[in-house]
Amino acid sequence: MTHHQVLIVGCGTAGLAVAKRLVRESPGLDVAIIEPAETQEIQRLWTMVGSGVVRPEHAQRDRAPTIPDGVIWIHDSVKTLNPGGNSVVTASGENISYDYLVAAPGVQTNWNEVAGLRDSVGKNGVCSIYSHETATATWEVIRNFQQGVALFTQPAGMLKCMTCSQQMCYLADEEFRRRGVRDQTRMIFISGESQLFPIQQYCGLLEKVMVEKGIEAHFRTELIEIRPETKEAVFRNVDSGEVSTLRFDMLHVPPPMGPLDIFANSLLADQNGWIDVDRHTLQHVRFPNVFGIGDAANLPTIRSEAASEHQAPVLVSNLVALMERRPLTAKYDGFTGRPIVTGYGQLLRADFDYGKLPCAGSVVELRNLTQPPKPPEKPAD
Ligand SMILES: Cc1cc2nc3c(=O)[nH]c(=O)nc-3n(C[C@H](O)[C@H](O)[C@H](O)COP(=O)(O)OP(=O)(O)OC[C@H]3O[C@@H](n4cnc5c(N)ncnc54)[C@H](O)[C@@H]3O)c2cc1C
């Protein structure tokens, strides 16, 4: 059994932000981070890879140089959590105990929840920007598209970067116009949600963008099956249960997502499987020496890198306060930031907090970028 004062699970955006701040604010602390992946995925760039703006290799970097000095990197993954005994067991069978645990394992992508998705993604016009490999294949599909039906779906419920499929729809529209194939194309966005965005001010603007671009939008309708041989997508209406089928020539699909099984089946989970933390202090509601952060925590805000980065200072401040037996006074206000790309040179910056209103001082308008990225004339190969 090895022991660390602070053990962080997951070295994604959230875990890394906590590790960096913790060693800066409390030098000398024994901090270890468990993370199995050798490379760090820069997930926010997958949208840009899928639209041909960023080369795939730029959306990944070596993990080792990103680990801050003073933090021990354990190349392993957590297999069992034992919060009552202040320990975890890793996949390689190591038993690690801790004084304080920071849980930042992100979400699980459930490709198998849509029948036929796992086997067809990257083939037959089916694509997804929700992994490094499939993001690369997405640009291939878009840049080779000639005519027909272009479908973009969004599952109901929790999704990291919930507007990604919508953004791909806007970017594909522009690329199709640039190549002169838009007139031969029917573009359809189909979402399991009730609207384009949960905050009214931003939603209204996005609805206008959809109308101006001539994209059909349908809601409360979920993709349940892909039949790659016949290029058919099968949908179910969330309210009536009615099933319908649509033929497609290209189909962009975010996989359904949920909590990681290891965490959902642990004592750290709430009734939905997410890490059960106080929404302001980020301290676990039943295990005071445990904190949760990022996509895996049950915070009622939209999951984003920006949200994780706003949570990290609060978590570290409260963790240090707990160690020093002071009250936990730092409070996360639910801030999340969503830059929603509506074209190659235009975006909507949707920032809001638990009040579900645009943050004070934010301007609710579409912004034209001064140096818009352009789709490449040549493929990003
Ligand atoms: C396509 C796409 C576009 C996005 N665009 C934006 C954007 O423009 N702006 C924005 O703010 N956000 C964006 N996001 C969201 C953002 O990337 C996530 O919200 C953010 O990465 C969440 O950080 P996290 O640390 O909670 O999870 P992650 O960054 O996913 O990290 C979780 C880490 O935990 C590790 N892990 C998992 N299981 C275990 C285990 N059992 N043991 C140990 N380690 C484990 C994983 O390997 C991973 O490294 C985007 C996401 C996607 C997918």
Give yes or no: residues 269 and 210 share one domain.
Answer: no
Question: pTM of the predicted model, to two decimals?
Answer: 0.94
Give yes or no: residues 118 and 234 share one domain.
Answer: yes
* DSSP three-state, residue 331: coil
Q: What is the pLDDT of residue 355?
A: 86
Give yes or no: residues 115 and 103 share one domain.
Answer: no
Give yes or no: residues 157 and 229 share one domain.
Answer: yes
Residue pLDDT, tens place only, 37-92: 999 999 999 999 999 999 999 999 999 999 999 999 999 999 999 999 999 999 99
Which residue among 295, 310, 332 has the greatest number of ligand 1 atoms within 8 angstroms of its CB, and so is best to mutate? 295
Whether 24 shows a pLDDT value over 70: the answer reads yes
Q: Which amino acid would we find at residue 303? A: R
Q: What is the pLDDT of residue 55?
A: 93
CA 111 from centroid of its chain's CA atoms:
14
Q: Measuring CA to CA, which residue among 332, 266, 349, 293 is closest to residue 14?
A: 293
Indicate the pLDDT class of residue 381, thresholds 50, 70 and 90.
very low
Domain boundary among 252, 276, 300: 252
Contacts of 325 (CB under 8 A, 6+ apart): none
Asked if residues 290 and 268 have their Cβ atoms less than 8 Å apart, the reply is yes
Percent of the chain scoring above 70 in pLDDT: 94
Cα-to-centroid distance, 161 and ligand 1 (Å): 10
Domain boundary among 323, 341, 356: 323
Lowest mean pLDDT segment, chosen from 194-203, 246-255, 273-282, 284-293: 194-203
* Atom 38 of ligand 1, nearest CA residue: 105
Residue at 199 is within a domain = yes
Looking from the CA of residue 46, the nearest atom of ligand 1 is 1
Give yes or no: residues 170 and 202 share one domain.
Answer: yes
Cα-to-centroid distance, 317 and ligand 1 (Å): 22
Stretch 154-158: mean pLDDT: 93
Domain boundary among 221, 252, 283: 252
Query: How far is CA 229 from each of CA 186, 232, 327, rounded to the nearest angstrom?
Result: 21, 8, 61
Whether 138 shows a pLDDT value over 80: the answer reads yes
In this structure, the residues whose C-beta lies within 6 A of any atom of ligand 1 are 9-15, 34-37, 43-44, 46-47, 77-78, 104-106, 129-130, 160-161, 164, 260, 262, 294-296, 303-306, 308, 337, 339
C-alpha 189/C-alpha 221 separation (Å) is 10
Indicate the pLDDT class of residue 366, thresholds 50, 70 and 90.
low
CA 317 from centroid of its chain's CA atoms:
25
Residue at 346 is within a domain = no
Q: Which domain holds residue 88?
A: 2-36+75-107+259-323
CATH number for position 119: 3.50.50.60
Give yes or no: residues 205 and 245 share one domain.
Answer: yes
Stretch 306-332: mean pLDDT: 97
C-alpha 280/C-alpha 323 separation (Å) is 18
C-alpha 314/C-alpha 316 separation (Å) is 6
Sign for the CA dihedral angle at 380, 13, 67, 37 comes to negative
Indicate the pLDDT class of residue 380, thresholds 50, 70 and 90.
very low
Residue at 345 is within a domain = no
Lowest mean pLDDT segment, chosen from 20-29, 185-194, 259-268, 343-352: 343-352
Whether 361 shows a pLDDT value over 80: the answer reads no
Give yes or no: residues 180 and 225 share one domain.
Answer: yes
Lowest mean pLDDT segment, chosen from 17-21, 152-156, 189-193, 337-341: 337-341
